[in-house]
Amino acid sequence: MFYNTIAGRLIAISTVFNSLSQLAFGWISDRFRSVHFLTVGILLPSVCISLLGVAPSILVVVLLLSVSGIGIASFHPQATAQAANIAGQKKNANVSIFITGGNIGQAIGPFLIIIMLQSVTLDNTITGKNTSLTYLPVCMIPGIISTLFTNKFLRPDPIEVTEPTESRGKSGPNGNSHFEIVSLIGLYMVAMLRTVTTIGLVNYLSLQLDSVGYGDIRRSGILASFIFAGSMGILFGGRMAEKTGGKVILCVSLVTAAPVLYLSLNSNNLLFIVFLLFGNFILSSSVPVNIVMGQQMLPNNQNLATSFMMGGAWGVAGLLNYPIGMLADHFDREYILSALALLPFLSVFFLILVRKK
């Protein structure tokens, strides 16, 4: 079977609802403040992802991924904009803390689920039954509890906006200058190409490790460590951006990460893991910078700017993983992974569009 193509197709379907629809929710949440953007964003993914293990067909899997994606899309724009809004002057640091929390959960969650399912499989071996996936819906319980707490204690405050002035230059839609739109496009291309690398490495590296004999727990542990290293990079990048400036972090991150990731894919054993984790640490350090710079360029539409840098970037990057999966099925997967590792180099050229007025 063409496993790379199937993986790419599921990524693309999930991404359309998860990421691209964030643009619509970003626009809506700039106009309406409601805690339900957050509660729905926690509840739907918790329930739908937990039901994937008992889905009777691929069509149901697609439906669950789609509904889950809509929930995620409703959560991220308003939650991230609020994280920046309550930070005062240290927006990069606050946004990095917020995103790090989510990434740590993304790293630990799948790894713990794999361990749980394997433990259940061992128990079922005694009784002659192998139904470990039927226990997966138990994982929705923490999400439901979080939803109840969010609905009870969290009430989003209005996001502060900056009134446009004559000094902002010729304005486009919503009072944003054409100068800012061009810079926003440059930031978007950086975020999108960086995300193509991240998504591609996470998904196709998993298949590559499986093909060379890595077991489920070992493979999941490496990928969890990869995501966790990225989380620490996000936290580090947010702190450093407050001291050195966002564009410096963007340049250093993109230029340095590519060769380190390439070295990891051409190394063995311990060096492979060390370079892989360090490469994602460096690459991810520019994530909060992208978001905060986008919000600063569109101060009157912070949710929309957030969704553009997060959902819009992840959406197109996820869709691009479909043809990347097809290429990996027809060419050596190792070549595709190496190309993904070097892709951040290309995104550096788009920083030319990102200028301070």
Segment 188-213, tens digit of pLDDT: 899 899 989 988 888 778 777 777 67
90-99, 143-152, 319-328: lowest mean pLDDT where? 90-99
Question: Half-sphere exposure of 267 toward its Cβ, with a 13 Å CA cutoff?
Answer: 15
Tokens for 328, please give them.
């990996």
- Report which of 220, 347, 332, 240 is spatially closest to residue 292, judged by C-alpha positions: 240
What tokens does 162 get? 């900056």
Q: Is 90 exceeded by the pLDDT of residue 262?
A: yes
What's the pLDDT score for residue 256? 93
**Residue 260 pLDDT class (50, 70, 90 cuts):** very high
Helix ranges restricted to H, 285-332: 287-297, 302-307, 313-330
Q: Mean pLDDT, the chain, as a whole number?
A: 76
In this prediction, residue 121 has a pLDDT band, given cuts at 50, 70 and 90, of low
Give the residue with greater pLDDT, 98 vs 42: 42
Q: Could you tell me the pLDDT band of residue 258, with boundaries at 50, 70 and 90?
A: very high
Give the pLDDT confidence score for residue 167 in this predicted structure: 41
Average pLDDT for residues 166-188, to the nearest whole number?
63
pTM, whole model, 2 decimals?
A: 0.69
**Residue burial 108-147, b: 16+ Cβ < 10 Å; e: rest:** eeebebbeebeebeeeeeeeeeeebeebbeebbeebeeeb
What domains can you pick out in the chain, each with its CATH number? 3-158+169-352 (1.20.1250.20)
- Measured distance CA(255)–CA(247) in Å, rounded: 12
Q: How confident is the model at residue 128 (pLDDT cuts 50, 70, 90)?
A: very low
Q: Look at 116 and 69; give whichever has higher pLDDT.
A: 69
- pLDDT for residue 146 is more than 60: yes
